[in-house]
């Protein structure tokens, strides 16, 4: 038995707690959505509706099953095509824009089916959001989650495996696993006459393009998600569908041609995407054929005043400039043990004239570069310096949804206090030398380059932005491409490349023990690569501005993790970016779990060309909420185009403080 659609007793729930999100559904679209029939000759019972995604309706008489649900608006319009009850909703994958309307089905007996591999995302969504992430959290890039589960749990009645057939009133849907856009995404194949239709979710959108990049970024630049996507595209191509019915945009009427083209474009991207040096096989000599041993075990001399660790098969972060006076500056310090560091520093005091460490300068916000920062401060009196932008993430990593933050390392260190916040572009006069720190994004936007002229060399400390052997013409040196590092190319590798071309260093001191002399041609190759990969992303982007599909942060909450007590409230800033060279109109509904309220519930306004703006939003928790983690989603529209609940942030409800 199923619940009837429409008004009256037993009808779909009116939008209640989702008022804000439903509000968002009206008046957003430039043109009113309407029913379409993707294949009226062969399959007259197939309809499609579009709101936050395409919803496909297979009907038989006045009954129907839905493939994906979108924001739920479809439920109010089914009567227009003679449907009075829905028996099943089949989800292609777990992304919120597929299923965000589910709260309207609560209490009905509409059944749900979803890929078995994604069942946990539907049923226990908050499991995938952590107040204290770790490097090896499942479905995360070093602690930053890449799954986008619903705000509220969705119980799944039937978990579908690859090869299963879902039968309903003579329709036979064959389940084909097509992960890559999401970890367990599924395509449903339907044979109608001699035509095969494929409900392909977000595997590909028309034009041989990728719905989003950030959903396929499953690891730290190794391309697992991308490779999985390519395999799925090629698997689906073998099934030779005649018509592709994707989750977004128009139907694909020439799937064989487009899937082949898509696979080619993805392979081109993969070739550019993986690191520009042999990360897995690089030898110690390739990392550093330049420095020479000193009497201190493990410590090598780079130039007369510059030293670093070099140990077989170790990638420690540490270099030190020792002035003639014996005062020293350390650049990055992490991954070796405190004992190893202590022994080396004792050796340098004995043999290399080291008297005192003035400061540790931190290259970027990843924890592995300052794991021993607190040790250097407490044991050696070093002051810790870095730029403002890096400092924010060192001091409050929990406020950011970023990979490899300090608290994800099993270090016992939750944050690192910064003693001196340097301005980007600031010069430091130190022991007769002139040092400069500049913004140098690349691998992450929260990074800086320290450079100085020393011992006849212009030396740039480039952190984790480029690595390799500059003498090998096959290497361009780029490090991992990770959108979750806040690394859109214009504020990442492409910027770094132009910066280094201007700086013209003679010697690059990379992180992880790399020393790269005479890098001019290497930097040229790096610059060329940064332009090429942007072209590759553009060819795959359904939006003429690729950054909306690449960057997972163009609407974000700061802080990303916000705590509040029962019955209490907390304010976050919602930061909205406009990547376009013209004004952008946004409408963002704040979708909080039942009982929680956002004030204001909807943000609406204009943002100037190529800029960003922040808007305060206060979240209120009900007095009877259970303690724990909640998800709050942003339902987005830009310039009238509806995106749905793309991004989210975490609310943590604390136990009420006990009265004494």
| Interface ranges with Zn ion (CB under 5 A) | 95, 202, 368, 464, 511
CB of 180 to Zn ion, least distance (A): 11
CB of 368 to Zn ion, least distance (A): 5
Q: Which is nearer to Zn ion, 45 or 276 (CB)?
A: 276
Q: Which is nearer to Zn ion, 38 or 185 (CB)?
A: 185
**What does DSSP assign to residue 126?**
G
CB of 185 to Zn ion, least distance (A): 7
Question: What's the rounded Cα separation, in Å, for the pair 309 and 294?
Answer: 10
DSSP string over 386-416: EEHHHHHHHH-GGGS--TT-GGGSTTS-S--
Q: Which is nearer to Zn ion, 358 or 445 (CB)?
A: 445
CB of 463 to Zn ion, least distance (A): 7
Q: Which is nearer to Zn ion, 549 or 587 (CB)?
A: 549
Question: What's the rounded Cα separation, in Å, for the pair 540 and 204?
Answer: 10
Main-chain phi, psi angles of 191, to 5 degrees:
-90, 125
Residues 133, 143 contacting (CB under 8 angstroms): yes
SS3 7: coil
CB of 614 to Zn ion, least distance (A): 27
Q: Which is nearer to Zn ion, 171 or 554 (CB)?
A: 554
Q: Which is nearer to Zn ion, 115 or 559 (CB)?
A: 115
Conformation bin of residue 381: beta by default, left when phi > 0, alpha when psi is -120 to 50 = left
Q: Which is nearer to Zn ion, 211 or 578 (CB)?
A: 211
CA dist 199 → 93, 268, 633 (Å): 11, 26, 26
SS3 598: strand
- Tokens in use for 457? 């060399």
CB of 361 to Zn ion, least distance (A): 15
Contacts of 595 (CB under 8 A, 6+ apart): 17, 621, 622, 624, 625
Q: Which is nearer to Zn ion, 368 or 635 (CB)?
A: 368
**Whose CA is closest to 647, among 509, 544, 551, 504?**
551
Question: What's the rounded Cα separation, in Å, for the pair 50 and 32?
Answer: 10
CB of 295 to Zn ion, least distance (A): 29
Q: Residues in the chain, how many? A: 660
Q: Which is nearer to Zn ion, 242 or 460 (CB)?
A: 460
CB of 217 to Zn ion, least distance (A): 13
CB of 326 to Zn ion, least distance (A): 29
SS3 295: coil
- Tokens in use for 289? 């054929």
**What does DSSP assign to residue 638?**
E
Question: What's the rounded Cα separation, in Å, for the pair 627 and 644?
Answer: 27
Question: What's the rounded Cα separation, in Å, for the pair 191 and 198?
Answer: 9
**Whose CA is closest to 281, among 48, 467, 34?**
467
Q: Which is nearer to Zn ion, 202 or 217 (CB)?
A: 202
Q: How far is CA 199 from its chain centroid?
A: 26
**What does DSSP assign to residue 423?**
P
Our CA angle for 536, 541, 546, nearest 5°, is 85
Q: How far is CA 27 from its chain centroid?
A: 30
CB of 580 to Zn ion, least distance (A): 23
Question: What's the rounded Cα separation, in Å, for the pair 487 and 483?
Answer: 5
> Looking up tokens 């361009």, which residue turns up?
476
CB of 464 to Zn ion, least distance (A): 4
Q: How far is CA 473 from its chain centroid?
A: 31
Q: Which is nearer to Zn ion, 76 or 97 (CB)?
A: 97
What is the torsional sign of CA 105, 111, 115, 118? Answer: positive
CB of 347 to Zn ion, least distance (A): 25
Q: Which is nearer to Zn ion, 47 or 409 (CB)?
A: 409
CB of 429 to Zn ion, least distance (A): 29
CB of 519 to Zn ion, least distance (A): 19
E-strand stretches of 297-340 = 299-303, 306-309, 317-322, 327-334
Q: Which is nearer to Zn ion, 392 or 464 (CB)?
A: 464
Residues 646, 34 contacting (CB under 8 angstroms): no
Q: Which is nearer to Zn ion, 83 or 446 (CB)?
A: 446
């Amino acid at each position: 038995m199923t619940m009837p659609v429409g008004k009256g007793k037993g009808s779909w729930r009116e939008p209640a707690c989702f008022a804000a999100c439903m509000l968002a559904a009206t008046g957003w679209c430039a043109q009113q959505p309407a029913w379409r029939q993707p294949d009226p000759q062969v399959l007259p019972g197939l309809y499609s509706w579009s709101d936050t995604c395409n919803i496909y309706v297979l009907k038989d008489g006045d009954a129907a099953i839905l493939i994906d649900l979108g924001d739920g608006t479809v439920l109010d319009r089914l009567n227009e095509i003679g449907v009075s009850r829905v028996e099943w909703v089949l989800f292609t994958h777990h992304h919120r824009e597929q299923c965000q309307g589910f709260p309207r089905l609560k209490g009905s007996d509409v059944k749900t089916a979803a890929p078995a591999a994604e069942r946990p995302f539907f049923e226990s969504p908050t499991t995938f959001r952590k107040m204290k992430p770790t490097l090896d959290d499942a479905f995360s890039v070093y602690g930053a989650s890449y799954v986008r589960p619903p705000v509220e749990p969705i119980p799944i009645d039937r978990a579908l495996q690859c090869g299963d057939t879902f039968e309903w009133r003579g329709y036979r849907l064959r389940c084909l696993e097509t992960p890559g856009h999401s970890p367990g995404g599924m395509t449903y194949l339907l044979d109608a006459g001699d035509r095969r239709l494929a409900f392909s979710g977000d595997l590909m959108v028309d034009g041989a393009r990728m719905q989003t990049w950030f959903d396929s970024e499953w690891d730290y630049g190794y391309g697992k998600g991308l490779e999985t996507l390519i395999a799925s595209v090629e698997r689906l191509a073998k099934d030779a569908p005649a018509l592709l019915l994707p989750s977004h945009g128009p139907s694909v009427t020439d799937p064989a041609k487009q899937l082949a083209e898509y696979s080619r474009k993805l392979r081109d991207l993969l070739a550019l995407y993986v690191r520009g040096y042999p990360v897995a096989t690089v030898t110690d000599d390739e990392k550093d054929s330049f420095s020479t041993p000193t009497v201190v075990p493990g410590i090598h001399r780079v130039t007369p005043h510059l030293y670093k660790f070099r140990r077989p098969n170790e990638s420690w972060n540490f270099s030190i400039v020792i002035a003639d006076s014996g005062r020293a500056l350390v650049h990055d310090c992490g991954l070796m043990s405190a004992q190893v560091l202590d022994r080396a520093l004792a050796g340098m005091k004995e043999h290399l004239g080291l008297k005192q460490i003035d400061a540790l300068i931190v290259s970027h916000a990843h924890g592995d570069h300052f794991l021993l920062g607190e040790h250097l401060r407490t044991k050696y009196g070093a002051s810790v310096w870095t730029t403002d932008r890096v400092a924010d993430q060192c001091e409050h990593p929990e406020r950011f949804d970023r990979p490899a933050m300090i608290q994800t390392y099993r270090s016992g260190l939750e944050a690192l206090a910064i003693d001196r916040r340097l301005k980007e572009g600031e010069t430091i006069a130190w022991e007769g030398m002139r040092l400069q720190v500049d913004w140098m994004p690349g691998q992450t936007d929260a990074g800086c380059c320290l450079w100085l002229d020393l011992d006849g060399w212009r030396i740039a400390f480039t952190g984790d932005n480029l690595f390799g052997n500059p003498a090998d013409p096959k290497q361009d040196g780029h490090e991992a491409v990770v959108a979750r590092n806040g690394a859109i190319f214009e504020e990442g590798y492409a910027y770094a490349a132009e910066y280094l071309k201007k700086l013209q260093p003679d010697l690059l001191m990379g992180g992880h023990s790399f020393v790269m002399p005479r890098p001019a041609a290497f930097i040229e190759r790096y610059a060329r690569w940064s332009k090429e990969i942007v072209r590759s992303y553009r060819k795959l982007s359904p939006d003429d501005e690729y950054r909306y599909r690449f960057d997972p942060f163009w609407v974000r909450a700061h802080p990303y993790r916000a705590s509040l007590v029962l019955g209490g409230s907390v304010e976050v800033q919602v930061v909205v970016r406009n990547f376009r060279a013209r004004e952008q109109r946004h409408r963002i509904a704040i979708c909080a779990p039942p009982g929680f309220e956002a004030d204001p519930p909807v943000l609406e306004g204009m943002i100037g060309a190529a800029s960003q703006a922040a808007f305060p939003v206060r979240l209120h928790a009900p007095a009877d909420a259970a303690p724990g983690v909640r998800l709050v989603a942003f339902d987005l529209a830009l310039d009238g185009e509806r995106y749905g609940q793309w991004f989210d942030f975490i609310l943590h409800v604390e136990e009420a403080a006990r009265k004494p």
